[in-house]
Structure 1
Amino acid sequence: MKLTTLISIAALSAMPLVASAAGDAAAGKAKAAVCTSCHGANGKAMIPTYPNLAGQNAQYLVLAMKAYKNGERKGGQAAIMAGMAAPLSDADIANLAAYYAAM
């Protein structure tokens, strides 16, 4: 009985973390204008070295943008992305991720 209570408490405690990770796709769309020059207006890049973002997993996008912002991601277009991600807040990142994941 104690184990199930602990599991229930742990699950309920984690719920706000999951909810806060979800972004606002409409706000992300408004913020995504600068992204379209490389990743395309529809989230599909015209240049093969740039990744498609449309339909990508939101959690992956959040982790990738935060890694660029924190200088943890190297190689490829990392220098460009670090500059693009630097001014983004955590809410901006979550919103962009929600927007591209919903495409």
Structure 2
Amino acid sequence: MTRMARNAPLRQEPNSISSFVAGFKSAVTKRINLLRDNRDIPIWQRNYYESIIRDEQSLIAIREYIRNNPCQWQKDPDNPVNDQSWKTLDLDLYF
């Protein structure tokens, strides 16, 4: 794979959920970077997961995941409690 192919932006289907999420994240990122005058600190966790709910079993499993996911935050490596490097950051966000 060429370097250009690796760095090419992913194409998103217009009016799709991923297109909506990308637009939302882009607008919020621009606003936050303006407010804090710093573009070097990441704002979002990478990726998100899409699932197609095909049957009742899938629906039950996804509901269970959503219900239990906040409990997993304690173990998440992106939780600032688990990663103390965030203490050196000054976000300067004033809302």
Give TM-score scaled by structure 1 length: 0.26
Q: More relative contact order in 1 or in 2 (CA 8 Å, sep 6+)?
A: 1
Q: Which has the larger radius of gyration?
A: 2
Query: Greater helix percent: which structure?
Result: 1
Give TM-score scaled by structure 2 length: 0.27
